[in-house]
C-alpha cells in the first residue's frame, strides 16, 4: 500500500470521499469508510456560523473517531472569521482543516465564498494565512480549474495558496461556470501538480476503478477524491482499492446486498438525525441506490415521498418480490 503525507497525516493512496453538502454526513461517511474510503472530509462548515455558535453549524463538526484521518472543512470570505473558526475547530480534534474555495453553488459563491475566492487570490491567501496561524494541524485548500474558461488560474492560484501555508491542494477539474457539467479536465490537475511541491488531490469524474487509475496516471496526483461517483454505490472505494492493488475487479454487490447497504445507511441516518429529518434527506440518495435495478423504475418514484424506515423496507421487499418481507 502506498501513502501520501499531508503534514504529519498519513493517508492511504487509494480514494478519498469528497466533502458534499447534504450528502457526506456522518452516516454516509461511516458507510464509505467501512467500504474502504481512505480519507474523509466533512460537509462545509460556515466560519461565521461557527464563530456565532450556531447549533446547526456545530453539529456538522461532530465526526466519528473511526473516520480518521479526516478533515473539517470551512467556508467563508473573511480572514478573521476563518482564523477564529479554525481555532474553535480544534476542540473537535480534526487531523486537517480544509478551506473550501471551489463550491460553485450561488448561495456560497454568490456571497464571495467558495469558488468566488478564485477571483481574488490576495484575499484567498490571507484567509489561508489566518487559518494556518490559528490552528496546529495542516491546512489544505479545495479549488476548481478557475471561475470560467476565460479565467483558468488553478496552477497560479494553487502556488499562491502553497506560499500562504497550505499543505495540500484539491483540484476539481471544472470551472465554476461549468458547475458539474461537461468533462473534468485532467490536464489542469496535472499542471497544478507540476507547479506546486505540496500534495495534490485530483477530483472529478472518478466513477470506476479504471477512472481512478487514469486520474493517477495522467495527472500524477497524490490522491484521488470521489464525490458524485460514489452516489448510490459506496462500495466503489473498496473496488478501487482492490483494483489498484491487484489489477483485478471485485464483482458488483447483488441486488439484495445493495438494498441492505442502503438500509444500513438509512438506519444510521435515523440514529443521528431522527426519522423525520433523515428520511427527508435520504429520498434522493435512496433513489440512486435503486438505479438500474430490474423493475425498479416505478418504485424509485416512491422514494420521493419516503417518511419512515418502514416505507423504505416496503420498497425493498417489492423490488425483491418478497410477500412476507425479507427486510
The SS3 of residue 169 is strand
Of 51, 103, 286, 316, catalytic: 103
Which H or E run includes 9?
strand 9-12
Q: Which residues of 3-20 are buried (b: 16+ CB within 10 A; e: fewer)?
A: ebebeebebbbbbbbbbb
Contact 230, 237 (CB under 8 A): yes
Contact 4, 13 (CB under 8 A): yes
- C-alpha cell of residue 143: 479549488
Distance separating alpha carbons of residues 308 and 278, to the nearest angstrom: 9
103 flagged as catalytic: yes
Q: Name residue 102's beta-bridge partners.
A: none
Report CA-CA distances (Å) from 175 to 115, 144, 280, 299, 303: 9, 6, 31, 36, 32
Show the DSSP H helices in the chain as ranges.
Answer: 26-34, 47-51, 55-59, 79-89, 106-109, 121-132, 154-164, 186-195, 209-219, 236-246, 255-273, 275-289, 297-302, 309-320
Residue with cell 470570505: 77
**Taking the CB of residue 111, how many other CB atoms lie within 10 A of it?**
12
Contact 219, 193 (CB under 8 A): yes
Q: How many residues does the chain have?
A: 327
What positions carry a catalytic annotation?
103
Amino acid at each position: 500500500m502506498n501513502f501520501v503525507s499531508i503534514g504529519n497525516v498519513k493517508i492511504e493512496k487509494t480514494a478519498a470521499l469528497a466533502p458534499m453538502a447534504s450528502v457526506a454526513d456522518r452516516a454516509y461517511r461511516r458507510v464509505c469508510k467501512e467500504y474502504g474510503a481512505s480519507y474523509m472530509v466533512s460537509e462545509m462548515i460556515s466560519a461565521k456560523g461557527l464563530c456565532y455558535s450556531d447549533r446547526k453549524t456545530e453539529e456538522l463538526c461532530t465526526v466519528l473517531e473511526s473516520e480518521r484521518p479526516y478533515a473539517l472543512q470551512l467556508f467563508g470570505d473573511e480572514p478573521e472569521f476563518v482564523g477564529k473558526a479554525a481555532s474553535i475547530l480544534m476542540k473537535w480534534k480534526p487531523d486537517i482543516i480544509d478551506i473550501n474555495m471551489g463550491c460553485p453553488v450561488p448561495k456560497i459563491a454568490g456571497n464571495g465564498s467558495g469558488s468566488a475566492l478564485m477571483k481574488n487570490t490576495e484575499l484567498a491567501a490571507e484567509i489561508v494565512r489566518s487559518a494556518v496561524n490559528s490552528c496546529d494541524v495542516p491546512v489544505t485548500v479545495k479549488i476548481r480549474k478557475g471561475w470560467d474558461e476565460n479565467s483558468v488560474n488553478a496552477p497560479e492560484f494553487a502556488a499562491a495558496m502553497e506560499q500562504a501555508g497550505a499543505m495540500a491542494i484539491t483540484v476539481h477539474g471544472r470551472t465554476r461556470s461549468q458547475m458539474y457539467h461537461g468533462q473534468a479536465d485532467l490536464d489542469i490537475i496535472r499542471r497544478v501538480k507540476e507547479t506546486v511541491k505540496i500534495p495534490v488531490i485530483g477530483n472529478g469524474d472518478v466513477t470506476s476503478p479504471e477512472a481512478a487509475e487514469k486520474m493517477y496516471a495522467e495527472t500524477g496526483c497524490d490522491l484521488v477524491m470521489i464525490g458524485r461517483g460514489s452516489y448510490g454505490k459506496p462500495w466503489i472505494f473498496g473496488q478501487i482499492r482492490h483494483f489498484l492493488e491487484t489489477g483485478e475487479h471485485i464483482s458488483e454487490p447483488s441486488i439484495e446486498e445493495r438494498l441492505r447497504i442502503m438500509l444500513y445507511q438509512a438506519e444510521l441516518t435515523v440514529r443521528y438525525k431522527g426519522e423525520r429529518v433523515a428520511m427527508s434527506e435520504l429520498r434522493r440518495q435512496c433513489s440512486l441506490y435503486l438505479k438500474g435495478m430490474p423493475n425498479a423504475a416505478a418504485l424509485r418514484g416512491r422514494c420521493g415521498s419516503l417518511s419512515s424506515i418502514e416505507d423504505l423496507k416496503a420498497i425493498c421487499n417489492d423490488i425483491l418480490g418478497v410477500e412476507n418481507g425479507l427486510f
